[in-house]
């Protein structure tokens, strides 16, 4: 039996993408022990044939997608150094416009990385270039598989490689094209570990990670070797600096709040995640703060359709906080908030950094993979309700004492 620590010696930027898949990520998170997988020469021979032939049709399909008349390709490229990953949810790439290019003075080009019809229209790539990268990646796969792997991991690497080599090779060709046309090109991505990120790094393009929220626990061996990272908490920054070769890691700038009123802002999650338990908790905290003469504002999730929240507000004395383009710290400053509440929201970290007490509304610690310590760095609505009442009654001393204690949890 063997654990997966051996991978540290053999994983590099050119083969990280082979480990990027649901099964392999779960194996890496759990560091599962397993038997070595010994493959026969004959089986390896057939695997080489399958891995050569199966993705070939996908490569031709991607190439022909460039020629499709459904969506016309741009006739000329925008003259820019900035290329931005356009994600499937619009709010996820907004930090580029908030923190990197707020005035839109810098020309930029969006890449719809999850939309085949979008990214294949960005530039025309000759078939031979795509095939050249596919062949190079094909060789790298078998160089990687040649090492002694555990059985489950071997099978997941093979599964990932067959599924992704076509798209990955296309992205490699795309970023080589971008790099050849502009040595100063920078690729900005908010999703982190996806095929485009690995491809841009492999092709030598400066690649910036601009986190759209707190980072899930990605096994550090899979975390791309970004040029620069912009994240929300020091804990995340320390984790990246400790385990990767990232050249620079910075925190998003946060404005400290100086004036506070009796205001709480509750940040909701996706509406489909609002269960009966969540409704009961929301009603409970709203009534509690109204009884203590607080103004209660509710901020829907950016993708909310508004049905639940408008019905909730119709029968409860709280106010809707409209979706704003401002960053959370600016919103908290405008509203002069004293408390922020949420279900494992990035705003809990932002609030603490700008001097507002966060309240976590989970009844029990969720089984997620977030690096940020929500339960340790927030007041908990269930466990700390009496403490919250004491803070409200003894406003200054208790408030800042608890704020200081929680802040230490994310700075050490």
pLDDT digits (tens, 9 = 90+) for 216-271: 877 888 999 999 999 999 999 998 998 888 889 999 999 899 899 999 999 987 76
- Residue 101, C-beta contacts closer than 8 angstroms, at least 6 positions apart: 82, 108
**Domains assigned to the chain:** 5-251 (no CATH), 263-411 (3.40.50.2000)
Per-residue pLDDT averaged across 114-143, rounded? 94
pLDDT of residue 320: 83
The answer on pLDDT for 70 being more than 90 is no
The answer on pLDDT for 322 being more than 80 is no
What is the pLDDT confidence band of residue 1, given thresholds at 50, 70 and 90?
very low
pLDDT of residue 3: 61
What is the pLDDT confidence band of residue 295, given thresholds at 50, 70 and 90?
very high
pTM of the predicted model over 0.75: yes
Per-residue pLDDT averaged across 322-344, rounded? 85
pLDDT of residue 77: 62
The answer on pLDDT for 329 being more than 50 is yes
The answer on pLDDT for 71 being more than 60 is no
Q: What whole-number percentage of the chain has pLDDT above 90?
A: 52
Q: What is the rounded CA–CA span in Å between residue 387 and residue 276?
A: 26
What is the pLDDT confidence band of residue 206, given thresholds at 50, 70 and 90?
very high
Indicate the Cα dihedral angle 236, 251, 80, 197, nearest 10°: 0
Q: Following DSSP, what letter does each residue of 362-395 receive, concatenated?
A: -SS-----BSS-TTTSSEETTTTHHHHHHHHHTH
- CA end-to-end span of the chain: 36
Per-residue pLDDT averaged across 167-173, rounded? 98
The answer on pLDDT for 90 being more than 80 is no
Q: What is the rounded CA–CA span in Å between residue 148 and residue 93?
A: 39
pLDDT of residue 287: 93
- Of 368, 353, 363, give the one whose Cα is nearest residue 406: 353
pLDDT of residue 351: 95
Arithmetic mean of pLDDT over the chain: 87
Per-residue pLDDT averaged across 46-75, rounded? 81
The answer on pLDDT for 273 being more than 50 is yes
pLDDT of residue 79: 79
The answer on pLDDT for 358 being more than 80 is yes
The answer on pLDDT for 306 being more than 70 is no
The answer on pLDDT for 74 being more than 60 is no
**Helix, strand, coil content of the chain in percent (nearest 5):** 45, 15, 40
**What phi, psi does 58 have (nearest 5°)?**
-65, -40
């Amino acid at each position: 039996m063997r654990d997966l620590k051996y991978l540290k010696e053999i994983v590099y930027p050119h083969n990280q993408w082979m480990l990027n898949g649901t099964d392999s990520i779960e194996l890496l998170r759990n560091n599962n022990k397993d038997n070595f997988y010994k493959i026969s020469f004959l089986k390896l021979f057939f695997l080489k044939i399958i891995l050569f032939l199966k993705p070939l049709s996908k490569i031709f399909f991607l190439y022909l997608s460039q020629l499709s008349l459904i969506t016309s390709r741009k006739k000329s490229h925008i003259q820019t150094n900035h290329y931005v990953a356009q994600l499937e949810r619009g709010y996820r790439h907004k930090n580029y416009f908030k923190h990197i290019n707020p005035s839109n003075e810098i020309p930029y080009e969006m890449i719809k990385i999850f939309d085949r019809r979008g990214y294949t229209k960005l530039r025309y790539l000759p078939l031979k270039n795509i095939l050249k990268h596919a062949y190079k990646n094909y060789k790298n796969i078998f160089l990687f598989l040649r090492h002694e792997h555990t059985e489950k991991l071997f099978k997941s690497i093979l599964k990932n490689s067959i599924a992704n080599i076509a798209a990955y090779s296309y992205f490699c060709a795309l970023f080589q094209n971008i790099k050849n046309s502009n040595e100063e090109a920078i690729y900005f991505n908010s999703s982190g570990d996806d095929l485009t990120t690995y491809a841009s790094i492999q092709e030598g393009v400066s690649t910036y990670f601009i986190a759209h929220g707190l980072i899930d626990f990605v096994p550090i061996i899979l975390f791309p070797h970004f040029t620069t990272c912009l994240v929300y908490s020091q804990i995340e920054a320390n984790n990246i600096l400790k385990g990767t070769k990232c050249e620079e890691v910075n925190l998003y700038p946060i404005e400290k709040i100086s004036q506070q009123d009796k205001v709480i802002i509750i940040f909701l999650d996706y509406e489909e995640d609002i269960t009966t338990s969540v409704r009961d908790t929301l009603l409970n905290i709203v009534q509690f703060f109204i009884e203590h003469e607080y103004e209660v504002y509710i901020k829907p999730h950016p993708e909310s359709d508004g049905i639940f929240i408008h019905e909730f507000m119709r029968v409860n004395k709280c106010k809707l906080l409209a979706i704003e383009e401002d960053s959370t710290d600016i919103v908290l400053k405008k509203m002069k908030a004293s408390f922020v509440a949420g279900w494992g929201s990035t705003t809990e970290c932002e609030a603490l950094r700008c001097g507002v007490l966060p309240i976590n509304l989970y009844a029990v610690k969720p089984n997620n993979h977030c690096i940020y310590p929500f339960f340790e760095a927030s007041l908990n609505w269930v466990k700390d309700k009496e403490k919250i009442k004491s803070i409200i009654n003894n406003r200054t001393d208790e408030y800042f004492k608890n704020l200081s204690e929680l802040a230490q949890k994310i700075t050490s």
